[in-house]
Chains A and B, each alone.
Chain A
Amino acid sequence: MFPEDLRYHEGHAWVREDGEELTIGVSQYAADEMGEVIFAELPEEGAELERDEPYGSIESAKAVEDLVAPVSGTVVRRNEAVLDAPETINDEPYGEGWLIVVRAEEDGGLDSLLSADEYRAHVGAPDAEDTVEEEEEEEALEDEEELGFDEDE
C-alpha cells in the first residue's frame, strides 16, 4: 500500500525523487478513503508551491478536498492525462495517477517527509480485508450508473 522507495507527507501526498525533479501524487490510503475521484484541479507549469499549503483540489464521490503541497517548489509539469481521466488516481495512485512534477526549493522540506513506515503509522494502516471490501463497494456503485444522467461521473 505504501511503496518503500517513496517519501510521504501528512497531507497524504507521496513524493518520488528523480534527480532534481520530484513527482508528487496522492497516497493509496487517501485515494481509497476518498472513493472515486471525479475531478482534479492542478496548477499549471511555473506555479509556485508552498509546503503544507493547498496547491489544487480534488473532488471525489462526495467531497472537495485540498491537495496539500508536501514540499515548496515550482511546478515543472502536470499530468494532463489525469485531468481527463481522474479515476486513474484511484486505479494507479503511484503510477499513471501521478499529479505534478516539481523542482523543489533548496530547503523545500524534502528532508522532513515521512518514510513509508512512518506514514503507515501516521494513518494507522487499515488491514487488507477492509481495502478489498471498499473496492467491491465502489464497483457495486459504479454498476448502478447505467442511466447516464451524469455521463461525466
Chain B
Amino acid sequence: MSDEVGPRAPSGPAGAWRLVLSEPADGARNMAVDEAIFRARAEGLAPPTLRLYAWRPPAVSLGRFQALDERIDVSAIEGRGYGLVRRPTGGRAILHAVELTYSVVVRETDVAGGEALMASYREISRGIELGLAYLGVEAALGSGGEGAGAREKALPTICFAKAARCDLVADGRKVVGSAQTRSRGVILQHGSVPLTIDLDDLLAVLPGPRDRPLAERRRKVREAAVGVCELVGRPVALDELSGAVRLGFARALNVVLRAGELLPEEEAWAEELAATKYGAHEWTEKAPPRDDAA
C-alpha cells in the first residue's frame, strides 16, 4: 500500500482507538451495539472504535433494504435455531456462523481518505488485510489496481457468492465481506471473516434461486467464497484470528488499540435498539419503501 493518502486527522490522543471485544451475542444485540457505538461516535462520546465479535446462535443478516423473499428460507433458519436480523448497512444476506465479525466506527476525519467511500474502504480494509497476512493469507480488495483476475472468478450471490470491489479476495475467492453506512460524518463499516463455510448449511438457509440446480448453486458459492482455515491450510481458532486482526489494525492504521468497554450511554442505547429495532419484526421484515407505497 502506498503512503500517498491524504492528511490524517488526529483520532484521539496519540491515534488511540478503543478495542471492544464483545462476548458472542445474538443478531439483534450485535447490530444494536454497532449502531449504539455509531451514535456515540457521532455525538462525540466515543473514540474511534474497533469491535470484534461473534454470533451465538448463528444468524442470517439481511442488508438494510434487502427484500426478505423466497431466496431466504426463514423456516430453515428457524428450524436450526438460528437468528434473523436486518443490518443497518447495505449489501446482501450473510450467514454468520463460524466467523469473526469486525466493526469499525470512525469519523470520516479519523482515517485517511475517510470522506471518499472507496478510499475509506481501502484504508479500513488494510487492517484486516494485514491481519490475514500475519496468518499467511494474501488478500486484496476485489478490484481496483489488482487487475481483473481476482474479479473474474468472483461470482454474484447472496453476499458470499460475489466479491464486490470493497470485499477482500484471496486466491480468487471472497474471504471478507464488508459493508458501510454513513451518517453525519461518521462511518460504520462492519464485515464478516468466516473461518469455515459450511455449504450445506449456507444453501439451506440462503438457497438463492431455486430454479437453478442445487449442485450448480453449490459449485458457484464454493468457487466464489472461502474461509480462513482453508486458506491457511490448518484449523485456526477464533482467538488466533482475532489477535491477528487486532495486530493488523494497529500496525496498518498506525493506531494504539486500548481495550475498553461500552460506555453506559452505549449500553443503554444498545439495549433499547435491540428491543425496539433490531429485535422487532417490523424492522426485520420491513419491505422496501417502494413496496410499501404500492
Contact = CB atoms under 8 A, between A and B. Distances in A.
B208 A66 contact: no
Contact of B180 (A38, A62, A151): A62
Q: Does more than half of chain A's interface fall in helix, strand or loop, or is it mixed?
A: mixed
B117 A33 contact: yes
Interface string B84-98: 000011111000000
A105 to B, nearest CB: 22
Contact of A60 (B92, B117, B208, B293): B117
B17 to A, nearest CB: 21
B67 A59 contact: no
Contacts of A148: 156, 209, 212
A63 B180 contact: yes
B165 A150 contact: no
Contacts of B165: 35, 61-62, 137, 141
A136 to B, nearest CB: 10
A127 interface: no
B219 to A, nearest CB: 11
Contact of B164 (A34, A39, A62, A84): A62
Contacts of A34: 117
B29 interface: no
B65 A41 contact: yes
Nearest to B87: A64
Top 10 nearest A-B pairs (CB, nearest first) are: A63-B180, A59-B90, A64-B181, A39-B65, A64-B90, A145-B156, A62-B166, A83-B290, A149-B157, A149-B208
Interface of A: 33-35, 38-39, 41-42, 44, 54, 57, 59-66, 83-84, 137, 140-141, 144-153
